[in-house]
Amino acid sequence: MNVLVTGGAGYIGSHCVRQLTAAGHQPVVLDNLVFGHREAISSKIPFYEGDLGDAALVKKVLDREKIELVMHFAAFAYVGESVDNPLKYYENNLAKPITLLKTMLGCGVTKFILSSTCSTFGIPSKLPIVEDMPQNPINPYGQSKLDLENVLKATASAHGLSFAAFRYFNAAGTAEDGSIGEDHDPETHLIPLVIEAAMGKRDSITIFGNDYPTPDGTCLRDYVHVDDLSRAHIAAIPHLAEPDQQLFYNLGTGQPHSVREVIETVEKVSGLKVPVKEGPRRPGDPPSLYADSTKAQKELNWQIQHPGLESIITTAWNWHKRHPNGYSQ
Ligand code: UDP
């Protein structure tokens, strides 16, 4: 199938592009390279540099490349920034995808896969988080994604759009074959920050809060390998054959790991000592988030190939060791 991947040069998008190719599909990438990296995409893959909100460009790409399905990754994802600058987030994460959907429907493209987030749940009342639990986001980032999920539902009912929305927990790790990796600027995610502290690229890692009601006092998160996430997207494609499919899946391993466990595992994998500081809680961090992914496992036959933190961190460590300056080296 010919698949347009918006944000295909970004972290999760680029991993999905590789999995699409491996599964025999033809990915086509649209990316404005604000956060994406051209180097993350093979020169054999059709690449369009441009913005999601550029309806004329999107129409041209959909027609020329005979696109049948759109996988949408192009989004802003800095929670703190979304609080400070909500309009930027609602514009990029909601208004522009609405333009994309209108353009798609105008071109007869009716299949869509959304990169959504566990942030749509906010602070859960129960754990693990199951798909049909209440969604009460606590920041504009999560709200913008939830709003887009709702737009998809209404568009499916009204116009026959078929979609799958994946709520990722903590995407982590890098390509199993070492070909591509994770390179954010600024980097805010725990695993790359801890690795950079181990390598001496940062003075230390600060633990945001050590007084949470968790076994070691630090936050628990569900780290899930980016290639496992990507494979779920591919597995969803055949389920979108009929009109008005409305599919929601939580994607995580179901295993919560603390900030301290992440630090210890980086030390184990790298053989290096991580300098650690203890700091205050980061506003808006729920103490514990982990997924129940039974639905994806049953309906999509999604099989997690990296169930453990060590396997995930090993792929990340291998990438950072070989690319200490990210894609610029
Ligand atoms: N975290 C931390 N220090 C850092 C960055 C993150 O202690 O420098 C913690 C953060 O409070 C959260 C966990 O690590 O509990 C994962 O944070 P990340 O930003 O990677 O992902 P999030 O869960 O916010 O999506």
Residue-wise pLDDT for 42-78, tens only, equals: 999 999 999 999 999 999 999 999 999 999 999 999 9
**Is 328 within the bounds of a domain?**
no
**Is 205 within the bounds of a domain?**
no
Give helix then strand counts, H and E, for the chain: 11, 13
Name 225's bridge partners.
172
Quickly state the pLDDT bin for 329 (edges 50, 70, 90). Answer: low
For 153, the domain range is: 2-171+223-251
CB 169 within 8 A of CB 222: yes
* Ligand 1 surroundings by CB, under 6 angstroms: 170, 188-190, 193, 205-208, 219, 221, 259, 282, 285
Q: What is the CATH number of the domain that holds 49?
A: 3.40.50.720
Quickly state the pLDDT bin for 17 (edges 50, 70, 90). Answer: very high
pLDDT for 275 beyond 70: yes
Quickly state the pLDDT bin for 178 (edges 50, 70, 90). Answer: confident
**Is 141 within the bounds of a domain?**
yes
Average pLDDT over residues 212-233: 98
Atom of ligand 1 at shortest range from CA of 118: 25
For the chain, give percent helix, strand, coil, nearest 5: 40, 20, 40
Question: 115: number of CA atoms within 13 Å, CB side?
Answer: 28
**Is 185 within the bounds of a domain?**
no
Long-range contacts of 19-27 (CB under 8 A, 24+ apart): 19/227, 19/230, 19/231, 19/233, 19/234, 20/71, 20/234, 21/45, 23/234, 25/1, 25/234, 25/237, 26/1, 26/2, 27/3
The dihedral of CA 188, 191, 193, 196: what is its sign?
A: negative
Quickly state the pLDDT bin for 90 (edges 50, 70, 90). Answer: very high
CA of 190 to the centre of ligand 1 (A): 5
User: How many folded domains does the chain comprise?
Assistant: 1
d(CA 190, CA 282): 12
Active-site residue, 327 included: no
pLDDT tens digits for range 191-212 = 999 999 999 999 999 999 999 9
